[in-house]
């Protein structure tokens, strides 16, 4: 990594963005949002993501060209697959599509040459076709994963930022059915890193650690890289971390460096390195493991999850023996717990399988209730008087801000299933229709401005032919079962159909 090799004196002239992918999980995502670098400088998030994708694209194309010899191909023949956490919002997924467009992977936002794959699903596809030898021999369970119809299993995608948990059932055709909506949170391996840094801050007091973070950020990256390797180790041993030159120098200005360690349990200074005991190392994982186990129990305790047999641990963080041991201790009596040999590569390899057949996940469970804002003829018996409106052109009395449910939370939605809405214009001379979409964790709602209702995005459909006035009809079809919302609009009068882009990024 270029930044890590820089002298600390030069690092401040560079933009270094650490764990920036998490920005799409824990913030409201818009196309013009910014990202703060480690030195406090700002750049548009779209620039950071698109340049990262551009680098990966160029590297991939160069690799393909070097390996293809005499094979002639064009870039237009390539279908790109980008993996994202299953718990990401529609806006975050659309942001990745926009970044891919800016990076030159696709030419327009509705291109079918880009597929968004959910990381837990991709890993699931890879794991279910692995032989027994494809899983870690150190696992507490030596059973082969059974890829048979009716088999149910839970996938725990343990990444650096997020933990994604989904439940799948294998169908007769070996396709997958999602049984439980994706859940999880920001409890990934980065939390362990942060706990380790907090521990070092407790050791190196008197401003030593704060000065080290501020002045020697590139050196700190070396230390954290070393810690990251130890974090995902497969051995149950004490951990030795090198204390780099500048940290030692800053500490020695205050007192003998060994004295910083005297009052701290679980860590010992040993001639240029500090040894962290295995028991102390495990405490850095407590927050992540506690949340993972709690969420798994909440899901698995549900009556409809009674047939689940396997827990699949995937993602780079699942390589950690500490994490696997704790999951095994909590669940191995009832479930077979498996982890593929290369847990991180399982997602990338599974993404290739998903790219070949994106319909292999036959149905998904809706994470929220989705609806569209509509207007209807006003009915004093059921409608709020404050929502009453009167058309200035023909005196038509209608109710505005109504929430029309398209799909409910926890509903199973087939990938080929459309939510349909038929629309008539409010005005005879109306030349366009705007559809505004909302979501909620409630089962249903009456109005779009109720508490707990969130605006998602909107799309505008042209209606240039006004000959039939209010008798014109539009049909809006939305596929909720895909990894991205796909909407098409048909003008029933003219029979014209067009693909509609729902803008989730201008909220």
Phi and psi at residue 277, to the nearest 5°: -65, 155
Q: Which residue has the higher pLDDT, 244 or 1?
A: 244
Proportion of the chain above pLDDT 70, given as a percent: 96
At residue 242, the pLDDT reads 92
pLDDT, residue 405, reads 93
Per the rule left: phi > 0, alpha: psi between -120 and 50, beta: everything else, 78 is beta
- Name the phi and psi angles at 330, rounded to 5: -80, -30
Mean pLDDT, range 342-362, rounded to an integer: 94
Asked if residues 118 and 483 have their Cβ atoms less than 8 Å apart, the reply is yes
In this prediction, residue 162 carries a pLDDT of: 95
> What average pLDDT does range 425-448 have in this prediction?
91
What integer pLDDT is reported at residue 507 of this predicted model? 46
What does the alpha-carbon distance between residue 182 and residue 297 come to, in Å, rounded to a whole number? 14
Q: How far apart are CA 65 and CA 69, in angstroms?
A: 7
What does the pLDDT look like over 295-308, one tens digit per residue?
Answer: 999 999 999 999 99
Q: Of the given ranges (155-169, 217-231, 492-506), which has the lowest mean pLDDT?
A: 492-506
Side-chain-side CA neighbours of residue 507 (13 Å): 21
Name the band, by pLDDT with cuts 50, 70 and 90, for residue 464.
confident
| Residue 178 pLDDT > 60 | yes
Q: Compute the average pLDDT of residues 349-358.
A: 96
What's the confidence (pLDDT) of residue 365? 94
What angle do helix axes 245-254 and 208-215 make, rounded to 10 degrees?
150
Once rounded to an integer, what is the mean pLDDT over residues 35-62? 94
Spell 214-224 as b/e; 16+ CB within 10 A means b: eebbbbbbebb
Coil vs helix vs strand at 462:
strand
Question: What is the average pLDDT value for the chain, to the nearest integer?
Answer: 91
Of the ranges 322-331, 358-367, 492-501, which one carries the lowest mean pLDDT score?
Answer: 492-501
137 or 230, higher pLDDT = 230
pLDDT at 142: 60
- Residue 479 banded pLDDT, cuts 50, 70, 90: confident
Q: Provide mean pLDDT across the span 148-153.
A: 94
3-state secondary structure of 285: coil
At residue 8, the pLDDT reads 66
Q: Is 19 left (phi over 0), alpha (psi -120 to 50) or beta?
A: left
- pLDDT at residue 290, rounded to an integer: 98
Q: Mind listing the domains of the chain with CATH numbers? A: 366-500 (2.60.34.10)
The residue ranges of DSSP E strands in 226-341, in sequence order, are 239-242, 267-270, 273-276, 308-314, 336-338
pLDDT on residue 147: 85
**Long-range residue pairs from 46-49, CB within 8 A, at least 24 positions apart, any chain:** 46/95, 46/98, 46/99, 46/102, 48/15, 48/17, 48/20, 49/20, 49/95, 49/96, 49/99
Answer whether residue 350 shows pLDDT above 80. yes
Residues 120 and 164: their CA atoms lie apart, in Å, by 7
pLDDT at residue 342 above 50?
Answer: yes
At residue 362, the pLDDT reads 93
pLDDT over 70 (residue 3): no
Residue, of 5 and 413, whose pLDDT is higher: 413
Contact 403, 447 (CB under 8 A): yes
Q: How many CB atoms lie within 10 A of CB 182?
A: 22
- Residue 68's pLDDT band (boundaries 50, 70, 90)? confident
Average pLDDT over residues 104-118: 94
Q: Based on C-alpha coordinates, what's the Rg of the chain? A: 27
Q: Are 232 and 189 in contact (CB under 8 A)?
A: yes
Q: Which two tokens stand for residue 429?
A: 């001379």
pLDDT tens figures, 377-433: 999 999 999 999 999 888 999 999 999 999 999 999 998 888 888 888 888 888 888
Please state, in angstroms and rounded to a whole number, the distance separating the CA atoms of residues 122 and 113: 18
Query: Could you give the C-alpha distances from 297 to 289, 293, 327, 413, in angstroms and in order?
Result: 12, 6, 11, 25
pLDDT, position 461: 83
């Amino acid at each position: 990594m270029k930044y890590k090799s820089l002298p600390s004196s030069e690092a401040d002239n560079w933009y270094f963005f650490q764990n920036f992918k998490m920005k799409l999980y824990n913030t409201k995502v818009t196309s013009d949002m910014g990202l703060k670098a480690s030195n406090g400088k700002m750049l548009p998030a779209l620039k950071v993501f698109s340049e990262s994708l551009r680098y990966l694209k160029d590297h991939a194309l160069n690799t393909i060209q070097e390996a293809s010899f005499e094979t002639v191909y064009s870039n237009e023949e390539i279908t790109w697959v980008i993996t994202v956490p299953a718990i990401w919002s529609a806006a975050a997924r659309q942001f990745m599509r926009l970044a891919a467009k800016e990076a030159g992977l696709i030419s327009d936002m509705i291109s079918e040459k880009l597929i968004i794959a959910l990381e837990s699903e991709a890993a699931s596809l890879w794991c279910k076709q692995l032989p027994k030898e494809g899983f870690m021999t150190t696992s507490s369970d030596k059973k082969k994963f059974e890829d048979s119809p009716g088999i149910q299993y839970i996938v725990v995608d343990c990444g650096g930022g997020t933990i994604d948990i989904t439940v799948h059932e294998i169908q007769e055709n070996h396709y997958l059915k999602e049984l439980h909506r994706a859940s999880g949170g920001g409890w990934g391996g980065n939390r362990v890193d942060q706990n380790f840094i907090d521990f070092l801050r407790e050791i190196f007091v008197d401003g030593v650690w704060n000065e080290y973070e501020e002045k020697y950020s590139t050196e700190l990256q070396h230390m954290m890289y070393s810690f990251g390797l130890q974090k995902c180790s497969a051995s149950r041993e004490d951990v030795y971390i090198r204390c780099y030159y500048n940290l030692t120098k800053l500490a020695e200005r205050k007192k003998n460096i060994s004295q910083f360690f005297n009052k701290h349990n679980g860590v010992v200074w040993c001639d240029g390195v500090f040894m962290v005991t295995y028991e102390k190392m495990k405490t850095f994982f407590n927050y992540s493991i506690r949340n993972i186990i709690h969420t798994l129990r909440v899901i698995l305790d549900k009556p409809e999850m009674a047939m689940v047999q396997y827990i699949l641990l995937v993602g780079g963080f699942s390589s950690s023996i500490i994490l696997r041991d704790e999951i095994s201790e909590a669940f191995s009596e009832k479930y077979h717990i498996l982890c593929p040999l290369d847990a991180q590569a399982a997602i990338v390899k599974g993404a290739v399988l998903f790219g070949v057949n994106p319909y292999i996940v036959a149905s998904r469970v809706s994470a929220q209730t989705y609806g569209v804002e509509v207007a209807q003829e006003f009915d004093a018996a059921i409608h709020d008087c404050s929502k009453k409106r009167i058309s200035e052109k023909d005196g038509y009395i209608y109710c505005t801000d109504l929430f029309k449910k398209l799909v409910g939370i926890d509903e199973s939605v087939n990938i080929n299933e459309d939510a349909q809405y038929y629309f008539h214009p409010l005005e005879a001379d109306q030349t366009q229709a705007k559809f505004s979409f909302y979501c909620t964790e409630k089962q249903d709602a009456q109005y779009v401005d109720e508490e707990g209702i969130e605006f998602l995005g909107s799309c505008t459909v042209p209606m240039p032919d006004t000959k039939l006035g209010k008798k014109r009809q539009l049909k809006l079809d939305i596929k909720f079962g895909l990894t991205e919302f796909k909407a098409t609009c048909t003008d029933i009068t003219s029979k014209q159909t067009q693909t509609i882009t729902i803008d989730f990024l201008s909220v």
